[in-house]
Amino acid sequence: MAEVSARVREQVRAAWGGAVLREFWAQAREALESAKRPDRFSVALPDETTRAAVSEIYGRELYLGHSRIMVAKLDQVLRADGRFGLGLAQVLEVLHGEPVATAGSGAPEPGSAAIAQAHAALAAHGLDRSPWAEAWARWLHQYGRVAEAELPRLTDRAGSVLAALALDPGAAPAVWVSRADLATPDEPTELDDGGALSRIVLRAAALAHHVDPPAGERERRSLWERCGVTVDDVAGTVLSWALPLRGADAWSRSITGRTELGLPTHLTHRDLAAAPERLVEPGAVVAVCERPRLVEASVRAGIRHPLVCVSGTPSTVALALLDRLRADGALLRHHGDFDWPGIAVARSLWSERQVGLWRMSAADYRAAVDRAARERLDLPNLVGTPVETPWDPELAELMSTASRAVEEETFLSTLLDDLRTGTLP
């Protein structure tokens, strides 16, 4: 272990050596020295002072009571600390005055086969200097449960898969790929749940995105999607109506034919993969709504204005379609519910995907609330955590004051008039 200067040792003890953190560090040492090589340990957070201190070190808000601490993530956070840059074992040696016992504990050993293989696989794809690379290599060595004979193949495949993922925690995926497309033709199920490759890839993804490793199917799916990967390319759909497709190919004719029959179309990732490179002409105005009711009403009214329904929080295929349309030069205009989840969706589309907003101003909200009062319409209570509205700061303030949610259906007649005239203010 590299020598730590006397000055740094003094600073570490001053920052992290108090009585409040004594039990936390003791549990961390027990985990590192355990022959069972646990990848996590539980720590008691009996009061606000302890909770705040441990949360600050771990880099995320924990809850009073007991919390689960991931060993590899704690090591990563400590190494990334700009003041000291020490790994967990080094911090414990400084605080306790003795090195972490390595006999039988599986503590990281420089030059181990797993660490070397992991670094080589990442280096082949330019990922070895990633902030999470060292923590992942050490996790693979300590807890990866990969047979030595399998290390070269699995780490090489993991490096190839990770190179195709969106691993920047501060950016939304720019493109989407099916998990099946990341697998090799010879082993099409190698990334399915339960396999070794899936497990070690998702561990790296969790470290990269600063989240706990997934504990179930829903969390695994969520983590894959954070990385721009769809678990399959046929289950998720996005509802569309009257898209003004420019092509004369069979795919475009099939969608246009459904519109002629008065039938909306549910598109999957597989549909989008089979679509022509360009979907619409630049300047095409496409409305984006939150609820299928507006699509149904448009179809029944014979209104052929292009419409995409995200059905609440946009799915990966909905985002992929919007990205494709925007890349073609389409002008996207979104309307959704005036509740905090609806505002969160609107803000995300507006800020992250440059989707314009349609009747989502403070004036629109005020008009809807006033109309409901005049017509004695019941509006739901506005619940949840407020979301800022940077496109119109007055909107969030007004919603908090009125404390009423306005669902998209309340605007139905107005929205249909907009679609009928082709004007989306």
Distance CA 107, CA 101 (A): 8
pLDDT tens digits, 375-386: 999 999 999 999
Bigger pLDDT: 418 or 62? 418
pLDDT tens digits, 29-87: 888 888 777 888 888 899 999 999 999 999 888 888 888 898 888 988 898 888 888 98
Q: Identify the CA nearest to 203 among candidates 12, 70, 327.
A: 70
3-state SS assignment for residue 99:
coil
Contact 180, 231 (CB under 8 A): no
Distance CA 358, CA 45 (A): 47
For the chain, give percent helix, strand, coil, nearest 5. Answer: 50, 10, 40
CA angle 240, 243, 249 (to 5 degrees): 115
Residue 89 tokens read as 């074992």
- Mean confidence (pLDDT) of the chain: 91
Give the pLDDT score at 106.
43
Residue 200 tokens read as 């070690």
- Domain residue limits, the chain: 6-96, 113-230, 238-421
Give the pLDDT score at 110.
45
Which whole number is the average pLDDT over 268-288? 96
Contact 122, 162 (CB under 8 A): yes
Residue 111 has pLDDT above 70, yes or no: no
Residue 141 tokens read as 């060595």
Residue 225 has pLDDT above 70, yes or no: yes
* Sole residue written with tokens 């010879």: 186
Give the pLDDT score at 203.
94
Residue 307 forms beta bridges with which residues?
241, 287
Contact 76, 101 (CB under 8 A): no
Q: Can you point out the beta strands (E) in 105-206?
A: 177-178
Q: Which residues of 112-122 are buried (b: 16+ CB within 10 A; e: fewer)?
A: bebbebbbebb
| Alpha carbon 343 to its chain's center | 18
Residue 327 has pLDDT above 50, yes or no: yes
Give the pLDDT score at 102.
59
**Helix H segments across 81-185?**
88-96, 113-123, 133-143, 151-163, 179-182
Residue 280 has pLDDT above 80, yes or no: yes
Q: What size, in residues, is the chain? A: 425
Residue 1 has pLDDT above 60, yes or no: no
Give the pLDDT score at 2.
55
Give the pLDDT score at 31.
86
Confidence of residue 107 (pLDDT cuts 50, 70, 90): very low
* Sole residue written with tokens 């749940």: 193
- The domain defined by 238-421 folds into Dna Topoisomerase Vi A Subunit; Chain: A, domain 2 (3.40.1360)
Residue 101 has pLDDT above 80, yes or no: no
Which whole number is the average pLDDT over 155-167? 96
